[in-house]
Amino acid sequence: MLGYVLFLQEIRQSCPSFVVWIMVAISEFVVIGAPIIAAYITLCVDKSKGSFIALNFGTGHIVNDIIKMTACVYRPWVKDSRIKLATQVESSSGGYSMPSGHTSGAVEFYGSVAIIKNNKKWWIISSLLIILTAFSRNFLGAHTLFDVLVAILENILILVVSVKFYFYIKAHEDKDIFLFVFLFLLGMASMVYVLNKSYPMDYLEDGTLLVDPMTMINSFMKDLGLYLGIVTGWIVMRRFGKFSVEGTSKEKSIRFIVAIIPTAIMFFSLDKVFSLLIDTKWSSFIGRFITFFWIMGIYPVILARFQKRKKEANS
């Protein structure tokens, strides 16, 4: 597995820089692009389908983290000093290695889109994008082939299960509370597990800790906030945010912009603000929770009330 990464490293080091940047863009797109597209679909196209993408994205994150925090597999460059991580992705490639988080996100996002579209063209496009994302993580030196294969298989299983839940909830809309409780308890149980389990504490000869477990715990808490924000926002939207996705192109654009600008501000700043007051792991959790609860729950409720008042004023 490491030989494959070293082989790709030789190719990467001989490539023009723009090739590396293309791989970085492919790798990182799903991190920011998936939530934005899921939000647009939810607010402006189809609430049910957008929520399906968002829930899968969040669930994939948290299940991936549970496996990663259990296996505690070190990154390729920790196992073999000959491997050099591409400098462009150093900030997004810390902690443990298996399964690949970026690949997980790609399977959940592109796979969900393929399920929604449900035609040959989108299945091919989504499959290619998943493979490209997985390859980019190997090419950049962030993961081994095994890391990305585990992520792909793990998240295919999640999608198989989520499709069954999706159609069940569509047929039994009053049962959504049971799915919410299950997903919420999954998040709570994972938090108890991650915060209380033991982690390997291996040191280099100079006394440097190979991987600081707190780095991964903080990352997990950020993902947990994202996940619970989406899950809690989803049930709030279903019960109280009964807005319409209809409207002119201008109305949809305004609707989306009003939602996404505060989301972006919160996404990049809330955890930093809260870190001035509380421990990093909790500031990471609260910052992400508020951000995704806003766009999945609070904003849809505000939007529903605005549309209702506008309709009453025009009647």
pLDDT tens sequence across 119-151? 899 999 999 999 999 999 999 988 999 999 999
Please check whether residue 65 is in contact with residue 223, taking contact to mean a CB–CB distance below 8 angstroms.
yes
Residue-wise pLDDT for 80-111, tens only, equals 888 888 888 877 777 888 899 999 999 999 99
pLDDT band per the 50, 70, 90 thresholds, residue 46: very high
pLDDT of residue 105: 92
pLDDT band per the 50, 70, 90 thresholds, residue 4: confident
Place of tokens 């715990």: 217
Q: Tell me the angle at which helices 120-139 and 101-117 cross, rounded to the nearest 10 degrees.
A: 170
pLDDT exceeds cutoff 90 at 114: yes
Average pLDDT over residues 203-226: 86
pLDDT band per the 50, 70, 90 thresholds, residue 170: confident
pLDDT of residue 113: 93
Among 17-31, 86-100, 187-201, 247-261, whose mean pLDDT is lowest?
Answer: 86-100
pLDDT of residue 1: 67
Please check whether residue 258 is in contact with residue 72, taking contact to mean a CB–CB distance below 8 angstroms.
no
Predicted model pTM: 0.90
Buried/exposed code over 195-222 (b: 16+ C-beta within 10 A; e: otherwise): eeeeeeeeeeeeeeeebebeebbbbbbb
pLDDT over 90 percentage in the chain: 63
Query: Residue 256 and residue 286: Cα distance in Å, rounded?
Result: 23
pLDDT band per the 50, 70, 90 thresholds, residue 216: confident
Spatial CA neighbour of 45 closest among 296, 252, 294, 251: 252
Query: Residue 270 and residue 96: Cα distance in Å, rounded?
Result: 25
Burial class (CB in 10 A: 0-12, 13-18, 19+), 302: middle
Please check whether residue 117 is in contact with residue 50, taking contact to mean a CB–CB distance below 8 angstroms.
no
Q: Tell me the angle at which helices 2-14 and 17-44 cross, rounded to the nearest 10 degrees.
A: 110
Please check whether residue 9 is in contact with residue 87, taking contact to mean a CB–CB distance below 8 angstroms.
no
pLDDT exceeds cutoff 70 at 63: yes
pLDDT of residue 15: 86
Query: Residue 39 and residue 247: Cα distance in Å, rounded?
Result: 16
